[in-house]
Chains A and B, each alone.
Chain A
Amino acid sequence: MSATRREFLKIAGIAAAAGAAATPAFASFIPGNILWPRGESKRDEAYTAKRWAMVIDLAKLDQKVVETVREACHAAHNVPDFLKVAGMGAGEAKRSEIKWIWPAKYESAFPNDMNEHMSANVTQRPVLVMCNHCDNPSCVRVCPTKATFQRADGLVLMDYHRCIGCRFCMAACPYGSRSFNWYDPRDAKDPKTLVGGRAVDPGFPTRTKGVVEKCNFCAERLARGEAPACVAACKNNEMVFGDLSDPESPARRLLRERYSVRRKPEMGTGPQVYYVI
């Protein structure tokens, strides 16, 4: 088919006019008020900060504190316990384990801070490790769906609705802070129980098979003006949280008074969990 320039321009003009006329017709199919209809706000009692950080007092940690803290965190966030599943091999249980906060040996938590002849008082104590809520989070950079993101107050959080389970973030995190749900965390027979026997806490959702999860700095507790579950479980200020931009916050006070280290700062991620020795 051949068309003259004049014919082509005529057709193009008619098509453009028809398109412009049809737009309101199509728009009428969309129900009104589809955009954000009202205002949103924080709760009045919410804790807010410019930069959240956690300070952990290594000198005060022992096996009992570690267990209490871990249980408080994992119970509050419906974390299943695959190590307690009967009939699952030890290797598979370990691979399937979900960890938000857990004890590590000093040499694995701080591999570059190991010197010869160090005090056993430092090297033999358990170190509580968790997501470092980095300033420059490598997990956020690699996430292809923006399921993990950094909030303005520094917290690195997950939107489980968006997670596609690609596990790039797990490869990118230098701290092993992320766990993948190889199985449904809920007990298949009893929906009120998690795998491993812990009862579901109705105050927090579970996750589902196929998403990555990690510590969320208890964003849901901060939002209602409560300290993170780990901090609240500490009887003796073993863990302290606070706003790093506020010189009078408990975290800044502790950092001012004591010598502190961070995990693998040489990776350039800017970890914001500090350990005072």
Chain B
Amino acid sequence: MYDKGKVITGLAIFFLVFTFPFWSNIGKTAPMPERSLDTPVLQEMAREAGLDLEQALKEGAINCVEDKDYIVSQHMHLLNLWRDSVVRSGNRMYAGAFGKRHEMSLSKSCMNCHSNKKDFCDRCHNYMNVNPYCWDCHLTPEQMGTASDAEVKQ
């Protein structure tokens, strides 16, 4: 191999620069954010079940429209399916996993329980650096006038 020294030095420098984002961030992992489920509507649902919120969530006394794991990993997909169903076929009701019928509406169903957009949606979306364009058109709980008290104060 000609110019062995130069080639290997060059490759080494390239490798260092290329992997800069990885080694410069070693040990600086940002902690995974915890989403908050503490909203007036969910508190009320727990009270109706005769439990406090944490217990009610743990025991499955209050549920989302689908299983929690499915919602955490697939909520964006579910929202797309809801959108197509409502907009294209005019079917607005959804048979939930826990025996209830829900209106397929981001503002009226999802955000009714999760009125704390900043502590529920935004925490994870900011962490993951995703910018869904929902709120360009749809109204936030604040704009709907249904935001939880803590949200309004912020």
Binding site for B on A (CB under 8 A): 31, 33-34, 36-43, 46, 149, 151, 153, 157, 159-161, 191-192, 200, 202, 205-208, 219, 222-224
**Interface presence of B128 (CB below 8 A):** no
Chain A residues with CB under 8 Å of B60's CB are none
Besides the known contacts A41-B95, A202-B107, A206-B137, 8 further A-B residue pairs in the complex with CB atoms under 8 A apart: A31-B74, A36-B81, A38-B96, A40-B95, A42-B92, A159-B87, A191-B142, A224-B92
> What number of A-B contacts does a CB cutoff of 8 Å give?
78
User: Contacts A205-B107, A219-B90 given: A31-B73 contact, CB under 8 Å?
Assistant: yes
Separation of A194 and B96 alpha carbons in the complex (Å): 35
* Of B94, B139, B145, the contact of A38 (CB 8 Å cutoff): B94
Whether A41 pairs with B91 at a CB distance below 8 angstroms is: yes
Separation of A183 and B93 alpha carbons in the complex (Å): 33
- Which B residue sits closest to A158, measured CB to CB? B87
Binding site for A on B (CB under 8 A): 66, 70, 73-74, 77-78, 81, 83, 85, 87-97, 101, 103-104, 107, 133, 136-140, 142-146
* Of B92, B145, B146, the contact of A223 (CB 8 Å cutoff): B92
Chain A residues with CB under 8 Å of B93's CB are 40-43
- Which B residue sits closest to A200, measured CB to CB? B143
Whether A157 pairs with B137 at a CB distance below 8 angstroms is: no
- How far in angstroms is the closest Cβ of chain B from A39? 4
- Which B residue sits closest to A44, measured CB to CB? B93
- Which B residue sits closest to A157, measured CB to CB? B87
* Of B90, B95, B133, the contact of A42 (CB 8 Å cutoff): B90
Whether B143 pairs with A37 at a CB distance below 8 angstroms is: no
- How far in angstroms is the closest Cβ of chain A from B72? 10
Q: By CB atoms of chain A within 10 A, which of B87, B97, B101 has the most?
A: B87
Q: By CB atoms of chain B within 10 A, which of A40, A160, A223 has the most?
A: A40
What are 10 residue pairs bridging A and B, where the CB atoms are less than 8 Å apart in the complex?
A31-B70, A34-B74, A37-B78, A39-B94, A41-B93, A160-B137, A202-B143, A205-B107, A205-B138, A224-B92
Chain B residues with CB under 8 Å of A46's CB are 90, 92
Separation of A33 and B72 alpha carbons in the complex (Å): 13
Whether A37 pairs with B66 at a CB distance below 8 angstroms is: yes
Separation of A154 and B70 alpha carbons in the complex (Å): 36
- Which A residue sits closest to B77, measured CB to CB? A34
Chain B residues with CB under 8 Å of A208's CB are 133, 136-137
Chain A residues with CB under 8 Å of B66's CB are 37-38
Whether A191 pairs with B143 at a CB distance below 8 angstroms is: yes
- How far in angstroms is the closest Cβ of chain B from A210? 9
Whether B88 pairs with A159 at a CB distance below 8 angstroms is: yes
Separation of A41 and B82 alpha carbons in the complex (Å): 11
* Of A31, A205, A223, the contact of B139 (CB 8 Å cutoff): A205
Whether A207 pairs with B137 at a CB distance below 8 angstroms is: yes
- How far in angstroms is the closest Cβ of chain B from A174? 25
Separation of A37 and B85 alpha carbons in the complex (Å): 13
- How far in angstroms is the closest Cβ of chain A from B107? 7
Whether B73 pairs with A161 at a CB distance below 8 angstroms is: no
- How far in angstroms is the closest Cβ of chain B from A148? 11
Whether B85 pairs with A161 at a CB distance below 8 angstroms is: no
- How far in angstroms is the closest Cβ of chain A from B99? 11
Whether A43 pairs with B92 at a CB distance below 8 angstroms is: yes
- How far in angstroms is the closest Cβ of chain B from A214? 14
- Which A residue sits closest to B136, measured CB to CB? A208
* Smallest CB-CB A-B distances: 4 pairs: A208-B136, A40-B91, A202-B144, A39-B95
Chain B residues with CB under 8 Å of A151's CB are 88-90
Separation of A264 and B130 alpha carbons in the complex (Å): 47
